[in-house]
Structure formats: C-alpha cells, structure tokens
Amino acid sequence: MTTLVIDNTFDDPTRRAPLVLGHDRFGTVTEKICSISEARRPPRAWYIAFAISLAFASIFGVMILYLFATGVGVWGNQNPVMWGFPIVNFVFWIGIGHAGTLISAILFLFRQKWRTAINRFAEAMTIFAVICAGTFPGIHLGRVWVSYWIFPIPNQMEMWPQFRSPLLWDVFAVGTYFTVSLLFWYVGMLPDLATLRDRARTKVRAMAYGIFALGWRGSVRHWHRYERAYLILAALATPLVLSVHSVVSFDFAVAQVPGWHTTIFPPYFVAGAIFSGFAMVMTLAIPARQLWGLRDFITMRHLENMNKIILVTGSMVGYAYLMEFFTAWYSGSIYEWFAFANRAFGPYAWAYWIMVSCNVVIPQIFWFQWARRKIAVMFIVCLLVNLGMWFERFVIIVTSLAQDYLPSSWGYFTPTWVDLLTLAGSFGLFMTLFLLFCRYLPIIAMAEVKHIMPQANPHGHAGHEPGESEAGR
C-alpha cells in the first residue's frame, strides 16, 4: 500500500498533483459515491433544504397560475420598461448553465482532468438552470395559449415564425442547448447508472436503474465507441455554449436602444455567463462536499482551480464594463454616452454599484492564496457574485429601457410582489431538482474519477512511477 497524499494544493511542476485523495482502490471510490444514493435516509440537512426548496417551488407554481389567470399586469413591467424581471431572470439563469457545459466540454477538450469530480453535478446544474431559464420567456409571452407560434409548426393560419428575429434564434439556441446538455449528461451517466444497477439490493432499484442504464456492461467494444461519442459531444457542445449566450446577447445588441446596441455584447455575455455559472457551481459544491463528505474527490485543489477561473472571468467582465464606457465616450454619440453615464450616476446607480462591487471588486480577493483556500471566504464571495451577476442583467435591461431617446417617455421600474416571489420561486424549483438529483443519482462521475486515478494506468508497472502519466493537473 502506498502512502496516500492528503494535501494536493502544492505547486511543484516536477510532480503531478493527485486528484483523488485517500483512495488507492477503485472499490472504495464506488462504495463512497454510491453510498450517497443508497443510504436509507439522506442527512437531516437534506430534508430541511428539500422542504424549504419545495415550498418555494410551490410558490413558483402558484405565481405562474396567478399570472395566467390574471395577465402580465401583475408584474412591474410597464411602459417604457417592458422587459422587466422575466427577461432579467431568463438571462441570469441561462448564464448559470454555462459553467456546466464549460466544465464538461471545454475542460474535457483541454484535458483538464480535475473536471471529473465536478462535471456531473455541474451538468445537472446546467439542466436545471436551463429549465428555470426556459420558463421565463414562456410565461412572458402574455398569451401563453398560443406559445406554440414560436415553433415552425404547420397550422391552419398558414403562419410561420419570422426567422430573422433574434428572439426566434433564442428559441432554437436554448432548445438545442437544453437537448445537447441533457444528452451529454445522460451519456456520461450511463456507466454509473450501471454501477448502481449492479449494486442494487431491491428489485425496484435494480429495475429503475437497469432501465436507464440501457444494459450497459462495460464492454470495451462499447467503451471504444462511447469515448469517441463523448469526444464528439464535447466538440459539439463547445461552440454551442459560446453560441447560446451570444444569441441571447443578440436580443439586445440587434436592437437600437442605447446601451444595448454594442458589438462587445456576445463575448461579454459569454464571459459573464461562465463567471456566474462557476460561482453557482461553488455555491452548490461547497455544501454538498461538506454534507456528504466528498472532500476526497472535490479537493481543495479543485476549489482553488475554480476560484482562479472566477478571478479570471470576473476580471474579463470588469474589463468589459470599462470598455463599454470607453466605447460610449469614444463613439461621440450623445445617446450612448448618456446611457452609460446614467447607469453609473443616474437613478439606478445603486444597482450599478452593487454590480461593480460584487462582480469586479470582491473577486479580486482571489489574488491571495489564503482566500482561494478558505471555504468560508470562497462561499461568501460566490454568493455575492451570484447577486452581482443578477444585478448585471438588471442594469443592462432596466436602465437602458427606462431612459432612452425621448425624455417624455422616461420611467422608473419598480417590481411587484409577484415579480419578487416568482424570482424566489425559480430558486426553489432549481434547488428542488438539484436536491432530488443528489438523492437519487450518482453525483460524481465514478467511471471518470477511476479513470484518472494513478492505478488506472495499465502501463503503471512499466518503468515510471504510478501516477506520473495519468494523474492530471
């Protein structure tokens, strides 16, 4: 038995840092991760969290029913701010999803092996976030009973969608994003569902996991195609994740409104999306790691790596904020310049400065190593980043619409209680789905974690130290 490393945060370029701590056999990995969903009862904290989440999810449902029964007048959306909370929430949630795809696809293509511990629930988070995101434009349509008009379905009116509209591109972008994320998540989970099936002690579990495992039996002939398929899906999801938030940003950039009509929007939105998504991954990973004792898999090194990404993307977002200002001034357009000066010093200055401090200033603490390795610090920073990124969308949408060209039609947006409860309710739905996922599905990709353990290297005995070639950064 080799000595097991318990600290992997060192930066020694001559040796690879181990990514799985405290396990030198595959069996203990399976045992540890399966025990989460095989436990007769989840921890008490799970029940409390689930009760609260379910209550909020119910509020979400009630608010939507109230909206359908009464009309969109229950919201604060009012001339001139016709895109209020629903579109802010839509952009916020769709952005959250991006980190999952980044971890599962882009880090996979870059051979970042530390992704294996976090990719499963980051992908789950993507799917649940896109479900929340998709709800908002759906209920924002007003006449929800004709929402099928957004799809090219042959109908008796001989009417088709208008394909030159960014709003319709959104339908295709978000629909494709959801489908591909779901496929990616499911394909990645196949081997682990088979593990749960093979370990099942009751008939119900064996049947349930057995059906979803599709009869997977780890055949190398299957693995061969599976690995190819996984690589192709990653290669497809990579441009997709960049395109989705670009298309969302077109909803704004293609319009003529000052403050929206800028070419910087697509990259700026994508950076912001990854930034907010990583903050949400951390917000979920830290409690999950504590609750189920997953410190061996989601190690300090993983958290530190994610904090570094938050620092980088947060700084990119900060750069975009500055560049927007510079371009507005440099363009010489008085409307453009007014829009930006008004954001920072006008009636919504409070929102703007919440955004800047949460997104740009506070993450700078991650330049310090102690901050990147302190659970309490990173958790608070990530919560603030979530808040700041919600306000970013609020600032972009509301300030631009509230005061555009004609001073006579200026206004001030105030959300109603329905707006606020719907937003809180969407968090309830998100958390409910996430907690159910934690309870019933393998929350860490077991097969992938085993694959990056030094013991998985079939050439381990052939001269070089085990772990030299297979443990990754």
Residues 315-344 that bind other proteins (CB under 8 A): none
Report residue 78: phi and psi, to 5°: -150, 145
Name the helix (H) or strand (E) containing 420: helix 417-440
Locate 259 and state its tokens. Answer: 């403050």
Judged by beta carbon, residue 88 or residue 194, the one nearer other proteins is 194
> What minimum distance in Å lies between the beta carbon of 466 and other proteins?
10
Residue carrying the six token digits 């434009």: 137
Judged by beta carbon, residue 50 or residue 209, the one nearer other proteins is 209
Judged by beta carbon, residue 169 or residue 352, the one nearer other proteins is 169
Count of CA atoms in the C-beta half-sphere (13 A) of 360: 15
Per CB under 8 A, the list member of 1, 220, 376, 406 interacting with other proteins is 220
> What minimum distance in Å lies between the beta carbon of 155 and other proteins?
9
Pick from 133, 352, 150: nearest CA to 245: 133
- For 78-107, the three-class secondary structure string (H helix, E strand, C coil) is ECCECCCHHHHHHHHHHHHHHHHHHHHHHH
Name the helix (H) or strand (E) containing 279: helix 265-291
Pick from 32, 188, 183: nearest CA to 108: 188
Q: By rule CB under 8 A, what count of residues binds other proteins?
A: 74
> What minimum distance in Å lies between the beta carbon of 97 and other proteins?
15
Question: Is 398 among the residues that bind other proteins (CB under 8 A)?
Answer: no
Please give the residues from 12 up to 31 whose contact with other proteins meets the rule CB under 8 A.
25-27, 30
Judged by beta carbon, residue 179 or residue 263, the one nearer other proteins is 179
Locate 404 and state its tokens. Answer: 């555009």
> What minimum distance in Å lies between the beta carbon of 125 and other proteins?
19
Residue type, position 298, single letter: I
Question: Is 179 among the residues that bind other proteins (CB under 8 A)?
Answer: yes
Please give the residues from 194 up to 213 whose contact with other proteins meets the rule CB under 8 A.
194-195, 197-199, 203, 206, 210-211
> What minimum distance in Å lies between the beta carbon of 206 and other proteins?
6
In this chain, which stretch among 43-51, 164-172, 325-333, 356-364 interacts with other proteins, using CB under 8 A?
164-172
Burial 190-205 (b: 16+ CB within 10 A, else e): bbbbbbbbbbbeeeeb
Report residue 263: phi and psi, to 5°: -80, -15
CA distances from 36 to 23, 187, 216, 306 (A): 17, 21, 21, 24
Q: 292, 357 in Cβ contact below 8 A?
A: no
Please give the residues from 222 up to 251 whose contact with other proteins meets the rule CB under 8 A.
222-229, 232-233, 236-237, 239-240, 243, 247, 250
Judged by beta carbon, residue 212 or residue 427, the one nearer other proteins is 212
In this chain, which stretch among 44-52, 69-77, 162-170, 260-268 interacts with other proteins, using CB under 8 A?
162-170
Judged by beta carbon, residue 51 or residue 159, the one nearer other proteins is 159
> What minimum distance in Å lies between the beta carbon of 15 and other proteins?
20
Judged by beta carbon, residue 268 or residue 366, the one nearer other proteins is 268
Judged by beta carbon, residue 20 or residue 362, the one nearer other proteins is 20
Please give the residues from 62 up to 91 whose contact with other proteins meets the rule CB under 8 A.
none
Question: Is 219 among the residues that bind other proteins (CB under 8 A)?
Answer: yes
Chain mean position to CA 55: 23
Please give the residues from 426 up to 465 whose contact with other proteins meets the rule CB under 8 A.
446-448, 450-451, 455-461
Per CB under 8 A, the list member of 93, 121, 216, 394 interacting with other proteins is 216
CA distances from 460 to 463, 467, 471 (A): 7, 7, 11
Report how far residue 285's alpha carbon sits from residue 291's, in angstroms, rounded to the nearest whole number.
10
